[in-house]
Structure 1
Amino acid sequence: MSDELSPSPESGAVQDSPLIRSLRSALDAAPRDLPLRLHLAQLLLDAGRLDAAVGEVAVALSQEPADPEARALMARAMGGATPAAVETPGTTSAAPPQQQPPRPAGFDWVAAEEEVEGVVPPRFVAPRTPGTPEAPLAADGSGDPGGASAWDVEAPEGLRLADVGGMQEVKDRLEAAFLAPMRNPDLRRLYGKSLRGGLLLYGPPGCGKTFIARAVAGELGANFISVSISDVLDMWIGNSERNMHEVFATARRKAPCVVFLDELDALGAKRSRTQHGGLRNTVNQLLTELDGVGDVNEGVFVLAATNVPWDVDLALRRPGRLDRTLLVLPPDRPARQAILRYHLSGRPIASVDLGKLVKITDGFSGADLAHVCESAAESALLDSARTGSVRMIGMADLLAAAKAIRPSTEAWFATARNVAMFANDGGTYDDLLTYLRKSGKL
């Protein structure tokens, strides 16, 4: 039909066709439906709506940076250019522009409806396998599945400590205190090295503690269970303790297995400050489970992470439990370069000086660096939408984003400095004091 895109009499703006409006409505209900978004981008591109198509493809690339169809659509929308690789100073990435494809003369509505049939799912309906019950039942017949089958056991294949950029001191500490004894059981027995206890990772938020825990699991070739307070805490008396026990029961069956206790200050808060009796009982249950490490829990390795180790119950940190502590600091220069390269690799960029960007982002966490790349991409996208001319993400965008974003680690160091100076009982925070002196924060 000829009225697929028609100017509005009031504003002169281009109106969406009914099919495109339907696809946009479907995306509002399922924003992470990548095939549907790419189909909408294809229709917009075929209709000559370059700006709108680039916007949809940019969202798709932010979800799946390496998706070949999304990258091909972006290249087509930009006139044949391909997303540039990260460059060193003095290099260029400009590609010769190509002619835009001609706008189709007509539109086959019947073919379009057949093409999207089955692609747009019913709203608010979760898919399930035919023949399975609507939801699993617990042993007591209640709607809460509970039990060991409710815990997701992952196998982080391919992920190793070598995939963690920089942080060599952290890797060395992990190797000496945790990995080498586990990989060499004969040497461990020779030197009388015990596997009792676990490792507590602490430091400012967004610096990769969870990623390091997954890398340790991959290094050991072990399964991985991540546990947070929302997984354990339950409103019914006794269920929280049962959930905590089931975590370790599952880990024993799946050994070798790494149990990662995320936000330990919530799971194992100081009982003297806890008013809720159920939470105190959960901490007691966790202490009981940790006492089994190295005996009935052979092959179960416990890692924990927290931003506020001074709020963790002292009993959790006694020898035989989480007795080894490792400070995870903001990424160093090699780590920042690796993080920035990763977050820029799936985006159209030009003439980016990584060395300069790494230098001005000292003190940024990994999450801060990801935010810098995201903000720069938003700036370029908005500028392209306003001018009608698609452009690459440039160094100016990244520098402006880095200047506008304040490192999220500053507030943490302000608190940690007081703790390290005035509450360093037994030298617990000696490594933090050393870093504060070296960095001039003390």
Structure 2
Amino acid sequence: MDGAGSALTRAELISLLIRVGVAATVSVVSMRYMLKYLDPNHAAKEQAEKQAKRLIEELGLDRSVNLSEYELQIAAQLVSAAKDGVEWNELGGCDELIKELQERVILPLQLRHTHSARSQLLAPPKGVLLYGPPGCGKTLMAKAISRAAGARFINLQVSSLTDKWYGESQKLTAAVFSLARKFQPTIIFIDEIDSFLRGRQSHDHEATAMMKAQFMSLWDGFSNSDADVIVMGATNRPEDVDKAILRRMPARFAVPVPSNNSRAAIFRVILKEEPLAADIDFEMISRESSGLSGSDVKEICRLAVLRRARELVEEGVDIDYGQRAEERLLTEEDLLESVKKYRKCADVGHFDRRFLNGMFSADSEPLD
């Protein structure tokens, strides 16, 4: 009787434990699904992980390297140097700057593991700042450096480091540097770095301040290690970058508005694949477009090619046929007219102030 009672009690206990275990498992699974559907960024995270795995395979990286979910999110911002990289000859008019970059940034990366002495003084700079007016090729230059050095390139989007959950931003920030170390040599590129690492203020949001502090702390850790990781930033407002960040970027390069000679070289680079008239005076075109940036020159070239295409369409020429010999050559006049058109459209100084203030109406006087 006692034995039977004891056996029944044990059976009941085992049954109870099983029920508790099943309930706990169901609760955990339910909680995970609830968090999954409550998280507004869940779909974006899943997409980032898929993109990261595709990029890792495309870049030929070691797929056996174990990556956390945070590192996978950052890995989605890897850039393929073979597909999206830039060759030096695609940067017109930057010969002196390219020479300086090759000596101070690329050569140390190349010598890092080949020099017998392995001197710490041969290490590349841990921070590089490219500064200058907008549209002068800072981002293209960063990609060219990465390709020439054979380094991985993380085009870091600062928005990817922000998360609504407390502490997640810090984990993502840490993942930037841990991922860079795993696939070194790596360049972490931050465009418009002044918007992220600007001078710290007392009224900064707590989460933002913590993220900046951790970024600088991790950066310092790499500065004192032998990891081949470079943080590279680009800005057109260097005076707004935090002084502590500037201290961590000893290699600073000004990327100015191109000179007339440089601008002529940029015209030639952009139009090298186009059918051109033999008598185009690029030096004269460059003087006519004085003061314009590289991105302005690219838009001028686009307008010139579009002007040529429009005339061909009006003449009834099938420009999709593909026989380039039958196309009209791009002429000096096309470029000059495009320079005039671009200057007229780009100059906002002629706009009526009522238009700029959102007060323009049909009854207002027409613009000049």
TM-score (ref. length: structure 2): 0.64
Superposition pairs of residues 78-93 of structure 1, within 5 angstroms:
none
Question: Which residue identity does 1:244 align to in structure 2?
Answer: T
Quote the residue 1:238 is aligned against: 167
1:180 aligned to 2:81? no
Mapped partners of 1:262, 1:187: distance in 2: 36
Per-residue deviation, residues 227-251 of structure 1 (Å, max 9, x unmatched): 1223323333333332222121111
Structure 2: which amino acid aligns with 1:362?
A: S
1:400 is aligned, of 315, 324, 337, to 337
Deviates more, 1:400-409 or 1:226-235: 400-409
Contact 1:363 1:409 survives alignment (8 Å): no
Within 5 Å, which residues of 2 pair with 1:420-435? none
- The residue number in structure 1 matching 2:21 is none
Q: Which residue number corresponds to residue 359 of structure 1?
A: 287
Q: Which residue of 2 aligns with 1:287?
A: 216
Residues 125 and 249 in structure 2, CA contact (< 8 A), matched pair in contact too: no
Tell me which amino acid in the other structure corresponds to 1:147.
Y
* Structure 1 Cα separation of the partners of residues 303 and 149 of structure 2: 37
From 92, 95, 107, the counterpart of 1:165: 92
* SS of the residue 2:216 aligns to: helix
Give the counterpart letter for 1:340 in structure 2: F
Match of 1:67 in 2: none
Q: CA deviation at 1:408?
A: 11
CA 1:340–1:195 in 2, change beyond 3 Å: closer, same or farther? closer
Q: CA separation in 1, counterparts of 2:277 and 2:234?
A: 38
The alpha-carbon distance between structure 1 residues 350 and 161, as it changes in their structure 2 partners (threshold 3 A), is closer
Where does the alignment leave 5 or more consecutive residues of structure 2 unmatched?
1-35, 47-68, 318-326, 349-368
> Does 2:149 correspond to 1:215?
no
Query: 2:312 & 2:235 partners in 1: Cα distance?
Result: 41
SS at match of 1:271: coil
In structure 2, give the amino acid aligned to 1:304.
Answer: G
- Which letter does structure 1 place at the counterpart of 2:152? N
Tell me the residue number matched to 1:57: none
Partner residue of 2:296?
368
1:149 lines up with 2:76 in the alignment? no
- Partner SS state of residue 81, structure 2: coil
1:309 aligns with 2:238: yes
Q: Distance in 2 between matches of 1:273 and 1:384?
A: 61
Q: Quick one: distance in 2 between partners of 1:244 and 1:407?
A: 44
Aligned residues: 272
Task: Provide the rounded CA distance (Å) in 1 between the counterparts of 2:344 and 2:218.
Answer: 38
SS of the equivalent of 2:187 reads: strand
1:202 paired to 2:123: no
Q: Is the partner of 1:272 in helix, strand or coil?
A: coil
In structure 1, stretches of 5+ residues that fail to align are 1-136, 412-442
Partner residue, 2:351: none
Query: What's the counterpart of residue 328 of structure 1?
Result: 255
The one-letter amino acid of 1:373's match is C
Which one-letter code corresponds to 1:167 in the other structure? C
Give the deviation of 1:387 after TM superposition: 5.0
Q: After superposition, give the CA deviation of every residue in 1:42-85 in whole Å (9 maximum; x if it has no partner).
A: xxxxxxxxxxxxxxxxxxxxxxxxxxxxxxxxxxxxxxxxxxxx
After TM superposition, give the deviation of residue 313 of structure 1 in Å. 1.3
**CA distance 1:355–1:177, change in 2 (3 Å):** same
Secondary structure of the structure 2 residue equivalent to 1:178: helix
Q: 1:218 to 1:330 in 2, by over 3 A?
A: same
1:274/1:330 Cα in 2 relative to 1: closer, same or farther (>3 Å)? farther
**Aligned-pair distance for 1:409?**
11
Deviations 1:402-440 (A, max 9, x none): 1233499999xxxxxxxxxxxxxxxxxxxxxxxxxxxxx
The range that moved more, 391-400 or 256-265, is 391-400
What is the CA–CA distance in structure 2 between the aligned matches of 1:408 and 1:335, rounded to whole Å? 23
Cα deviation, residue 189, structure 1: 5.0
Amino acid at match of 2:126: G
For 1:163 and 1:191, locate their aligned partners in 2 and report how far apart those are by CA, in whole Å.
33
The structure with the largest alpha-carbon Rg is: 2
**TM superposition shift of 1:223:** 1.2
Superposed displacement of residue 362, structure 1: 3.2
- Rounded to whole Å, the distance in 2 between the matches of 1:263 and 1:409 is 22
Q: Which residue of 2 aligns with 1:108?
A: none
1:342 partnered with 2:269: yes
Alignment check: 8 A CA contact 1:160 1:218 kept: yes
Q: Report the TM-score, using the length of structure 1 for normalisation.
A: 0.54
SS of alignment partner, residue 256 of structure 2: coil
Runs of 4+ aligned residues of structure 1 deviating over 6 Å after TM superposition are 407-411
One-letter amino acid of the structure 2 residue matched with residue 282 of structure 1: M
Q: Once the two structures are superposed, what CA deviation does each residue of 1:367-419 show, in whole Å capped at 9, x if it has no partner?
A: 101100111122233334445467443221210111233499999xxxxxxxx
In the alignment, the residues of structure 1 paired with residue 254 and residue 192 of structure 2 have an alpha-carbon distance, to the nearest angstrom, of 15
Counterpart residue number, 1:248 = 177
- For residues 182-201 of structure 1, the C-alpha deviation after alignment (integer angstroms, 9 at most, x for no partner) is 33344885584554631111
What displacement does 1:293 show?
2.1
Given residue 166 of structure 1, which amino acid in structure 2 is its aligned partner? Answer: G
Is the contact made by 1:205 and 1:409 (CA closer than 8 Å) also made in structure 2?
A: no
